[in-house]
Structure 1
Amino acid sequence: MIGIGQESMNKLIILDRDGVINEDSDAYIKTLDEWIPLPGSIDAIARLSRAGYTVVVATNQSGIARGYFDVATLDAMHERMGELVRAAGGEMGKVFYCPHGPDDGCDCRKPAPGLIDQIVTEYGDVTGAPLIGDSLRDLEAGVARGCQPVLVLTGKGAKTQDKGLPTALGHVDVYDSLADFTDHILKD
């Protein structure tokens, strides 16, 4: 396990949302009722926050461009996430999202690094910061800006691992879940 631990300089952790924090769906998470946290994920974020980490989210949300839900619904999901983390004794950093569709040609839809660039603008250097995702595009976006890629096997993570990870990513730590990652990083 390289580059991740209490010695991390900026103590920033970047999370994908669907499949890492909450259940994922090929039919999209379209309503507040469909936004269901994965077991242990909210507590994991709260624990990281209490340990001094700033936890932010970088998420593709093409359901907006596709007309499946609107920004107000997305904001309600993120407000619920923040409320749950606060109730568990932690604080959530900012949520960065790409509202564009796959053919819109934006620079913020992962694997493009635009969301990571927005995080740099808001929080500073992300070099070495863990970027935790369940898909190859999450990891590629982080690696493009010097983040340490971390794959969780929740969501699409097991399928991503089964397909094989390209050597261009460098070393990728793999954990069963966000809770498992948090247990590891906070074990000392």
Structure 2
Amino acid sequence: MASPIFPHLAKPVKLIVLDRDGVINEDSDAYVKSLAEWIPIPGSLQAIARLCQAGWTVAVATNQSGLARGMFSATTLDDMHLKMQQLVMEEGGRIDLIVHCPHDPDDGCECRKPKPGLFRTIAEHFNLPDLKGVPVVGDSHRDLHAGMLLGGEPYLVKTGKGLRTLEGTLPPGTRVFDDLAAVVDHLLGSAA
């Protein structure tokens, strides 16, 4: 699959949207609540760096209802994201945009995946009408569904909750990979 390129921008963008927990870092049913609990999945940081070095723009869209539940503070979340950014930078990459939903599932917001609010924010940030053709990488149905509402292409990883997600019916056209590194191998291999 060729990378989506948006020529109407000052600089063409090859964009990818990643979920955080279960894709970049280890997930937990008890939530990732502290800096010490934010542990990268082996190979994920290097995979992001490889994308950046190949000219991709990386965005992260993540539900963080632990904020609304009082499990951690906004400062702790910022610290986790700073750690993620620093570790990716040490590998020679960067994350261009991180957006999160701080709401509880019962709050009725428009940003919590599977609703498309976070993806709409990403599209607006990069001056895009939608995310048509943009790889959306997640480990759950809600990640894939939210991205597809704006035209994103679903990529499921088996890390995090991915194996559980595989037990259900996947959205049409979903590509399945072992982890983020395998997704990147595919994207960079098919772009060559």
TM bracket, shorter-chain basis: over 0.9
Alpha-carbon offset, residue 164 of structure 1: 2.3
The one of 74, 78, 82 equivalent to 1:75 is 78
Structure 1 residue runs of 5 or longer lacking an equivalent are none
| 1:109-124 → structure 2 map (5 Å cutoff) | 109-124=112-127
- Matched to 1:105, the amino acid is G
Q: CA deviation at 1:8?
A: 2.0
Which one-letter code corresponds to 2:185 in the other structure? D
Determine whether 1:153 maps to 2:188.
no
How many corresponding residue pairs? 181
TM-score by structure 2 length?
0.92
- The whole-number CA distance in structure 2 between the counterparts of 1:123 and 1:155 is 28
* Alpha-carbon shift at residue 77 of structure 1 (Å): 0.5
Distance in structure 2 (CA, Å) of the matches to 1:18 and 1:46: 18
Report the alpha carbon displacement of residue 127 of structure 1 after superposing the two structures with TM: 1.2
Which residue in the other structure is 1:130 paired with? 135
In structure 2, give the amino acid aligned to 1:129.
Answer: V
Deviation of the 1:124 alpha carbon: 2.7
Residues 135-173 of structure 1: per-residue CA shift (max 9 Å, x gap): 0000000010000011001000111011221xxx32011
RMSD value over aligned CA atoms? 0.9
SS in 2 for 1:80: helix
Give 1:91 shift.
1.5
- Corresponding residue of 2:178: 176
Distance 1:144 1:164 in 2: 17
- Deviations for 1:60-116, whole angstroms, at most 9, x for unmatched residues? 000000000011000000001110111101111111000000000000000000000
Identity of aligned residues (%): 55
Q: Structure 1 length as normaliser, TM-score?
A: 0.94
Which segments of 5 or more consecutive residues in structure 2 lack a partner in the other structure? 6-12
Query: Which segments of structure 1 move beyond 3 Å, counting only runs of 4 or more?
Result: none
Are residue 48 (structure 1) and residue 44 (structure 2) matched?
no
Residue matched to 2:9: none
CA distance in 1, matches of 2:113, 2:157: 17
Q: 2:4 aligns to what?
A: 8
